[in-house]
Structure 1
Amino acid sequence: MPSYPLPSGERVLVLEAEPGPERREALAGWLERARGGQALFSQVLDCDFSQGGVWAGVAGLLGALLPRIRAVAPSLLVSHDTELAAILPQLRETIRPRHRPLVELASDEERFQLHARERADRLLHGAIGLLAEFHAADPAQGPWVLVCEHFGRAGDLSRRFFRELVRRRGAQLDLILLAVVDPGQGDATCTELSRACQVSGVRLRLAPQDRASMSPDVQRAHAHAACELEHRVQGEPDAVEASLPRLIHLWEQSAEPENALRWRAEGLRLCVRQGYYEDGLRYGEPLVGALEALCGGDPKARWDILGKLCTCLSATGRAERAARLLEEEVIAKSDDPALLARAFHTLAVYHLRYLPRRNVRLAEQCARRAAEAVSRLEPSTDEARTLTIQTNNALALVRLQEGKPDEALRICQASLALLDEHFGPHGRPLQRAALMLRFAELCLVMGAHDEALAHYSAAIAIDPSQSDYYGMRGVAAFKAGRLLEAEADFRQALALSPPHAEIGVNLGQCYRAMERAEDAIRAYSSALELEPENVLALVGRAQAHELLGQAERACADYDAVLLLTPDDALALANRAVLHYEAGRLQASVADLDRAVSLASHTPELYQNRAVVLSDLGRRAEAIADLSTYLRLRPDAEDRAEVEEKLSAWREALVHAAPSARGPRHD
């Protein structure tokens, strides 16, 4: 049986080998030896997206540990109910999340908002927190050994989960992770996982496996199994979600692979609904070439696929590809007014927010063409009213970008009147909440902070479980100087959601403004555990350390900032002050030289550098810098003091100068 060495000190080993029986034997032998080394928990996890879907491997890990979690720390099933229900849909009969925003409860037809892309990150970090809390509560201790089979075939979320698990909790769990990949995937996987820790790579030379084509009997068996599975899950949405990867796989391995397409469309729908946009592309991309077969002449079916695929593309930084799809597959091929209205509305938003170059003129053109398409619909229908409100939303964004918030406000008021008239004060709650957010955004631009806070509160009243709304209201309260209200909103946002780096940073900013430096450091640190390269959190924590007089810790954070953003003039200037106070004058002036080269019109940089240069005895350069400070800030409050210092320095420079005539020779 093939064998290979256990990792020597590394937490992650990447095994590249041909799939097949020999590889399975090698893994069994490795796992047996790991268990012989008294591993507390060991598990082989199949991470193949085609077999397990978005959470392949992760679902297997949580499912294997669930009985032990129930026995040791059952309260964790409540505090992490959101993550468990998302990752293990089969648990939804027994585990119901306490906090479910309307975006999860509304039908597809009434969903006028989508989950933020960060929601998927929150779920995976929440699941990692669950494992860490369970491990801390479990009286049994010992190493964890995880074999991630088919890791190279895993989806985006599954790969990120295991990478983050190693980075965040590898040491706590005493974790050893074996990532098993197919030939040709080893180097890329090592590079990917090395972002989390040190990685060793091993290649096994195994005999290539025969890729025999399936016999008709096997294909018929797959089709029969697919039909049976479809019958079992019919009418059970959670069962459909849990069985989706297998349904697709069975049909694709049958003689009727086209039957897999409708299940791929269902996978795309579920991914968009849940905010799994990167993995949604794996379901959706193959559908583009089969649109005619799937949709025929049905414009609604066409939009159901293309609209969702474009959502995934734009959310993952591929808005240019999404725009091309809309132009080539909708605008160029359809005359259906509702379909065209949706396409032009989406393009308008892309031109304002998602495409690399913002183009307000094109956005307005698209919004107007969307309005023209809506005008061709029967005006008394719900569809026409809904599309009118959506088109108005795009046009309001255009006016906002044009610097015309008053006009944008009038457009939104017209939409609210239409909503009230035809759907009542409680109809279309998600669309109403979205309008409240737009009103709040406009009020902030106009400096009307109280009105903005009121509109955010109206959105929260509609959807009190939506953590993002509290985060938005918290930011508005912070900007208005209402720090206690901002703190309460940020804390509520964290309570309603799995871990959320952005809210942690905002809470840190709030505490720092309140001069609660220790609380700020804790908030920033919690955010940095999730996003260690978050520059705003690093800068904020450095400044909080400064408030506490912890100069070296502050300097370490500025060091981290400048590794990530070497051209950050503010970080350079702040670190220069710390170097100066520690007596590291050469390091201080080097940072200030760099900062001045990056921000040459910032007066304070010259003033600070003048002080350091003077202490270094470079008086002429110090005088030049202080003179530049006064030139850039002629109305400086400390002008008299600076001029007095300049006069003293010049006089000292004259007395220190050698005689102009030089030595005499007799």
Structure 2
Amino acid sequence: MERAYRLVHGLVGIVLEWKQATDDQRQWLIVVRNFDHAQHLAVRFLAELARRAASDSRIDVVIQTDRDTSAMASFPPDMKAIPRDVQLSVITSPPIDAATAEVIAASDDTVLELHFPRLLQYYRDRQNSFAAAQLALRVLAVYNRRGYYHEAKSLLPTILPHFDLLVDGDQSKRMNSVSEINSCLVASGDGEQALRTVRALTDQYITEPHLLANINYIFAMHHLRYLDAKDTESAEHCLLLAKDYLRTLDDHPTAGEHAFLKAFIDNGLAFLRIRQKRHQEAFDLCRLAYESVTHDLGESRHLLHRSVLQYNMAQVHVMLGQLEEALECYRAAIAMDPFYAEYHAESGSILEQLGRDADAIDQYTQALEYSPPYPGVYLRKATCHARREEWQDALTCSGICLELTPDQPELHAARAEIFAELGQTDAALAEYDRAIAMTDDSVAMRVNRAVLHYNNGAYEQALADMDEVIARDSQNPNHYENRAAIYQAIDRQDLHQRDLSMAEHFKEAA
């Protein structure tokens, strides 16, 4: 899901850079028809485009909606709205014919993703609900791989009425489809519905031991991760039952086909052991699972899945404080899947903990190269640059992070400190203004802003900040000493002495 959100920011960036590249000084107006039917990522894209374009890009986003004024209050302030009854020219895609429908249906996932809405509408127009369900199930799997979980979930009303016919008595197909449905539900935050749906679609239908093992693994993950009420005892019962089902296949000719299932069940058990604070057992389970898969399948096969097992081992090493060992696991994972940005980002975090900021910056740079805009990594990279006193790089990275994720008062405050270090007082004050507007109760930020105002000779503004600070934190002697200095600067000796006395009083009380 996070990667899908980063894709949204990448698309917004394309639009903004396109506008800039055309050197078109005119105002652009983007009108969104049928906004009330937009799905999760489309709404997020339009909101982020409206927000990021609002400052200086000369792009307005206008949505056409039937929603009332109270509902509109939840939309970003930069997004404008017009009623649905306003007449607009309508752009429609022409309906497809039978030959085109056949071509789209036979296409690979990339072509299908581009054109499936027209194909879905083609089936619906002909009241062929089964063909629509077949298509929706296929697209659901594509969307899950992309991280478009809410969009995948929206296909379930088309799929579920025909589910039994779609799997046609094939237990493996049923299990694979149930796993896909479970994935989109839990990833979109609906664990309770996911568990109900899995039970309804598998109870009394699944009898093969390896599939029962898979179901119990899914149940365990619900109890450990996805349900509001976590239940480690039920999770352990399900995981041990899953291992028992697989153990019945040890002498079966198909035993080797279930190597990954066994490995991920053991990794699930390792996750449980971590929750139980049995960290060494967790690591041993991860290590043995990886060694078993590698032995059964070879060093050069299934690199993607095996890199995930290395990642799991790295996570346990971190929990045990074994940072160098964790780095080795990440290096192994990167060797198998070198373009997975998260491995580089996690490596950078460990390098930071080891005090190796230059190496961390290298890893963060790789993560940014292999990912759409990645706000968390920009933040970590900015922090590393700041520790190395590479102020301009720190400002650049933190500025990008704030453009992507604006509600970060502490980051504005950090940027203020950098500007103050560079002697750019006005820029520092502007950053403190933004930070304090977001978190009005911050005493430290107001104190720092007061110091800047004082050094700038703006005594009234400094005094206003310190008055507010003392109103919020009235027993700190340092605040009175700071305000006393301001009173002295404006030649109010009576108030200067009063605050010095108050400072002494609270020092004695402490």
TM class, shorter-chain normalised?
Answer: 0.7 to 0.9
Residue 179 (structure 1) shift: 2.3
Is the 8 Å Cα contact of residues 62 and 81 (structure 2) preserved in structure 1? no
Are residues 624 and 445 of structure 1, via their aligned partners in 2, closer, same or farther at CA, if it must alter by over 3 Å?
farther
Equivalence for 2:503: 622
Structure 1 window deviating more from structure 2 (308-317 vs 370-379): it is 370-379
Matching residue's letter, 1:588: M
Does 2:83 correspond to 1:199?
no
Of residues 265, 283, 287 in structure 1, which corresponds to 2:159? Answer: 287
Measure, in 2, the Cα distance between the counterparts of 1:313 and 1:348.
16
Q: Is the 8 A contact 2:470 2:480 kept in 1?
A: no
CA distance in 2, matches of 1:286, 1:316: 18
Cα distance in 2 between the residues matched to 1:130 and 1:491? 20
5+ residue gaps in structure 2? 88-94, 455-461, 486-494
- SS of the counterpart of 2:169? coil
Structure 1 residues 227 and 579: alpha-carbon distance in aligned structure 2, compared to 1, 3 A threshold: same
TM-score under structure 1 normalisation?
A: 0.66
Alignment RMSD: 3.1
SS of the residue corresponding to residue 355 of structure 2 reads coil
Structure 2 equivalent of residue 588 of structure 1: 466
Residue matched to 1:480: 354
Does the alignment pair 1:374 with 2:256? no
User: Which of the numbers 435, 444, 469 marks the counterpart of 1:573?
Assistant: 444
Q: Contact 1:313/1:319 (CA < 8 Å) preserved in 2?
A: yes
Give the secondary structure class of the aligned counterpart of 1:201: strand
Residues 157 and 588 from structure 1, CA distance in 2 versus in 1: closer, same or farther, beyond 3 angstroms? same
CA 1:554–1:142 in structure 2 vs 1: closer, same or farther (change >3 Å)?
Answer: closer
Aligned counterpart in structure 2 of residue 324 of structure 1, from 196, 199, 209 = 196
Superimposed CA distance per residue, residues 486-527 of structure 1 (whole angstroms, 9 cap, x where no aligned partner): 001111111122211111111112112222233212111101
1:464 counterpart = 2:334: no
**Contact 1:330 / 1:339 at 8 angstroms: preserved in 2?**
no
Cα deviation, residue 624, structure 1: 5.6
Query: What do the CA deviations read for 1:317-352 (whole angstroms, capped 9, x no partner)?
Result: 222322333344335754443333223323333443
1:144 shift after superposition = 2.4
Instruction: From the superposition, tell whether residues 225 and 368 of structure 1 become closer, same or farther in structure 2 (CA, over 3 Å).
Output: same
Instruction: Report the equivalent of 2:133.
Output: 261
Query: Are the counterparts in 2 of residues 494 and 503 from structure 1 also a CA contact under 8 Å?
Result: yes
- Larger mean CA deviation between 525-534 and 556-565 belongs to 556-565
Question: Which residue of structure 1 lines up, in the alignment, with residue 294 of structure 2?
Answer: 420
Match of 2:365 in 1: 491
Rounded to whole Å, the distance in 1 between the matches of 2:186 and 2:293 is 28
Quote the residue 1:86 is aligned against.
none
Native 8 Å contact 1:524 1:540 kept in 2: no
Aligned equivalents of 1:360 and 1:540: distance in 2?
Answer: 41
Amino acid at match of 1:281: K
Question: Equivalents in 1 of 2:2, 2:383: separation in Å?
Answer: 20
Gaps of 5+ in 1: 1-116, 207-221, 597-604, 630-666
**Alpha-carbon distance in structure 2 between the residues aligned to 1:249 and 1:133:** 34
Q: Match of 2:359, as an amino acid?
A: E
Query: Which string of whole-angstrom CA distances, capped at 9 and with x for unpartnered residues, describes residues 576-624 of structure 1?
Result: 343255353453364466468xxxxxxxx94644645776625665346
- The one-letter amino acid paired with 1:364 is E
- Name the residue aligned to 2:90: none
Contact 2:64 2:84 in 1 (8 A): no
The correspondence of residues 103-122 of structure 1 with structure 2, limited to 5 A, is 117-122=1-6
Q: Which amino acid aligns with 1:368?
A: L
Amino acid at match of 1:151: F
Contact kept, 8 Å, 1:344 with 1:370, in 2: the verdict is: yes
1:629-649 deviations in Å (ceiling 9; x for gaps): 5xxxxxxxxxxxxxxxxxxxx
The structure 2 residue matched to 1:276, chosen from 125, 130, 148, is: 148
Cα distance in 2 between the residues matched to 1:558 and 1:290: 58
Q: Distance in 2 between matches of 1:556 and 1:191?
A: 28
Kept in 2, the 8 Å contact 1:323–1:347? The answer is: yes
Q: Tell me which amino acid in the other structure corresponds to 1:278.
A: H
Taking the aligned partners of 1:231 and 1:120, their CA distance within structure 2 comes to 28
SS of 2:330 mapped into structure 1:
helix
**Secondary structure of the equivalent of 1:499?**
coil
Distance 2:501 2:188 in 1: 54
Equivalent position SS for 2:154: helix
Q: Which amino acid aligns with 2:18?
A: F
- Aligned-pair CA distance for 1:286: 3.7
Note the C-alpha offset of 1:167.
1.9
Q: 1:273 to 1:536 in 2, by over 3 A?
A: farther
Q: Distance in 2 between matches of 1:348 and 1:592?
A: 52
Q: The residue matched to 1:145 in structure 2 has which SS?
A: strand
AA in 1 matched with 2:33: E
SS class of match (1:147): strand
> Which has the higher mean CA deviation after the structures are superposed, 149-158 or 270-279?
149-158
Give the Cα–Cα distance (whole angstroms) in 1 for the partners of residues 118 and 195 of structure 2.
Answer: 32
- 2:33 and 2:319 map into 1 onto residues whose CA distance is 52
Contact 1:337 1:376 survives alignment (8 Å): yes
C-alpha distance in structure 1 between counterparts of 2:433 and 2:172, whole Å:
54
Give distance in 2, aligned partners of 1:445 and 1:295: 42
Per-residue deviation at 1:558? 4.9
Q: 1:170 to 1:226 in 2, by over 3 A?
A: farther
Larger Rg belongs to = 1
Q: For residue 154 of structure 1, what is the aligned residue in structure 2? A: 38
CA distance in 1: counterparts of 2:439 and 2:56, whole angstroms: 30
CA displacement 1:190-218 (0-9 Å, x = unmatched): 4454x151635346389xxxxxxxxxxxx
Structure with higher RCO (Cα < 8 A, 6+ apart): 1
CA distance in 2, matches of 1:241, 1:591: 56
Q: 1:365 aligns with which of 222, 225, 237?
A: 237
**TM-aligned CA distance change 1:202 to 1:371, over 3 Å:** same
